[in-house]
């Protein structure tokens, strides 16, 4: 129990805060229990670092991040990361940026003045806490990569009820789309109702085989209802492609009989020679059943398509297939297929 005046902790507060005491921020804030003790504040020295591994202890002094706003000499709050790096910040900044800290710091203080600032122990590691504080203080937004680090910062912003940093981190998710796993982005976005980011991420999954065992871990992150929408997207594309490839217009380009009894029969329009051709049928049934439906760019490099482009009449040597017309027809079909989930 605190020796100073007692006060009830706010929702999410680690403990009753007193000057010169130590507090802990826990995920289960409603049941947070900590041990309070006076922590002697080490002298502040600045040194830039780039990874967690560069946190060092030199002559008993922990190095702090080389960010001036996080090392203010007149700061009245010290946030200590999980690996014991201290950030000197102003309580007014925390009150303004965080609903959690606003509640915590609004509790009555001790009756006697303290010479040492409050030290609040945080659950987050140094890089996560530094990135969050930089965003909250209006400084340059750090590179939120890889996606694991991005999600750590986002979860911390949500934990401490920081709407400003959350909105900035959301924008960063869109910029991360090009190098972040689309299934991970889709999972993050759908859990928060970020429909624009989720639909954009779903479009990037079209080049993936969702039944690949290596993707199982990523798929388990997605809520069941949104995973079903993603699977339905891939399934509907296959069905629509199969139906479109059976259309009369496509068959006209192949010069193959559409009659079910003669659908493999080719009649040369020049010399009238007939032949049995199965390459078109292979392509027709193969495209929708592939693990990944080919894109427009990969269609031109398709082995079966190349084989068809070289097929000639055994008599007059005329090309069997109007390959340019076939490609144009299939490209038009592919472009008409649904490209993203509908979350409206």
Q: What is the pLDDT of residues 175-215, one digit of tens each?
A: 865 588 999 999 999 999 999 999 999 999 999 999 999 99
- The verdict on 36 and 113 lying in the same domain is yes
- The verdict on 47 and 111 lying in the same domain is yes
What CA–CA distance (Å, rounded) separates 195 from 226? 11
What CA–CA distance (Å, rounded) separates 109 from 112? 9
- The verdict on 125 and 174 lying in the same domain is no
Q: Which of 184, 204, 236 is the last residue of a domain?
A: 236
Question: What is the Rg, in whole angstroms, of the alpha carbon atoms belonging to the chain?
Answer: 31
Instruction: Give the pLDDT confidence of 41-95 residue by residue, as tens digits.
Output: 333 333 333 334 333 333 233 444 445 556 677 788 999 999 999 999 999 999 9
- The verdict on 36 and 96 lying in the same domain is yes
pLDDT score recorded for residue 281:
82
* 179-182 long-range contacts, CB within 8 A, separation 24+: 179/145, 180/145, 180/146, 180/147, 180/150, 181/147, 181/218, 182/208
**What DSSP line would sit under 36-105, residue for residue?**
----PPPPP-B---SSGGG--EETTEE-B-S-GGGB-TT-SEEEE-TT--EEEE-HHHHHHH-HHHHHHH
pLDDT score recorded for residue 250:
75
Instruction: Give the pLDDT confidence of 286-343 residue by residue, as tens digits.
Output: 999 999 998 888 887 888 888 888 888 888 988 888 888 888 889 999 999 999 999 9
Residue 266, pLDDT above cutoff 60: yes
* Cα angle for residues 149, 152, 233 (degrees, 5° grid): 85
Q: Is 24 strand, coil or helix?
A: strand
State how far the alpha carbon of 119 is from the alpha carbons of 76, 91, 234, 279, in Å. 9, 12, 52, 74
Structural domain boundaries enclosing 221 = 147-236
pTM (two decimals): 0.74
Strands 265-267 and 274-276: antiparallel
pLDDT score recorded for residue 255:
72
pLDDT score recorded for residue 257:
66
Q: Which of 136, 164, 187 is the last residue of a domain?
A: 136
Q: Quick check: is 4 in a domain?
A: no
pLDDT score recorded for residue 9:
42
Strands 86-89 and 77-80: antiparallel
Burial of 260 (0-12, 13-18, 19+ CB in 10 A): exposed
Residue 341's nearest CA partner among 173, 226, 224, 170 is 226
Q: Quick check: is 128 in a domain?
A: yes
Instruction: Give the pLDDT confidence of 81-135 residue by residue, as tens digits.
Output: 999 999 999 999 999 999 999 999 988 866 666 677 878 999 999 999 999 999 9
Domain count, the chain: 3
Instruction: Copy the structure tokens of residue 153.
Output: 């910062």
Q: Quick check: is 9 in a domain?
A: no
DSSP 7: -
């Amino acid at each position: 129990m605190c020796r100073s005046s007692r006060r009830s902790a706010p929702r999410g507060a680690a403990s009753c805060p007193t000057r010169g005491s130590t507090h802990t921020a826990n995920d289960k804030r409603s049941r947070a229990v900590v041990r309070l003790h006076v922590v002697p504040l080490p002298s502040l020295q600045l040194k830039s670092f780039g990874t967690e591994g560069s946190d060092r202890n030199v002559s008993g002094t922990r190095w702090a991040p080389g960010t001036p706003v996080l090392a203010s000499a007149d700061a009245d709050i010290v946030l200590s990361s999980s690996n014991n790096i201290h950030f000197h910040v102003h309580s007014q900044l925390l009150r303004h940026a965080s609903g959690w800290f606003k509640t915590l710091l609004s509790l009555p203080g001790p009756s006697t003045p303290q010479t040492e600032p409050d030290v609040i122990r945080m659950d987050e590691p140094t890089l996560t806490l530094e990135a969050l504080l930089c965003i909250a203080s209006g400084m340059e937004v750090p590179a939120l990569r890889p996606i694991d680090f991005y999600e750590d910062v986002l979860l911390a912003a949500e934990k401490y009820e920081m709407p400003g940093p959350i909105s900035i981190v959301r924008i960063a998710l869109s910029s991360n789309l090009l190098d972040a796993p689309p299934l991970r982005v889709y999972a993050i976005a759908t859990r928060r109702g970020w429909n624009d980011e989720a639909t954009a991420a779903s479009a990037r999954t079209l080049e993936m085989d969702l039944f690949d065992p290596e993707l199982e871990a990523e798929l388990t992150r997605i809520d069941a209802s949104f995973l079903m929408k993603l699977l339905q997207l891939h399934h509907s594309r296959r069905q629509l492609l199969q139906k479109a490839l059976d259309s009369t217009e496509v068959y006209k380009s192949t010069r193959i009989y559409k009659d079910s009894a003669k659908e493999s029969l080719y009649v040369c329009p020049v010399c009238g020679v007939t032949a049995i051709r199965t390459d078109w049928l292979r392509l027709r049934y193969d495209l929708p059943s592939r693990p990944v439906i080919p894109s427009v760019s990969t269609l031109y490099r398709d082995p079966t398509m190349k084989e068809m482009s070289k097929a000639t009449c055994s008599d007059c040597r005329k090309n069997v297939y109007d390959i340019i017309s076939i490609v144009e027809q299939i490209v038009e079909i592919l472009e008409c297929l649904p490209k993203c989930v509908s979350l409206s």
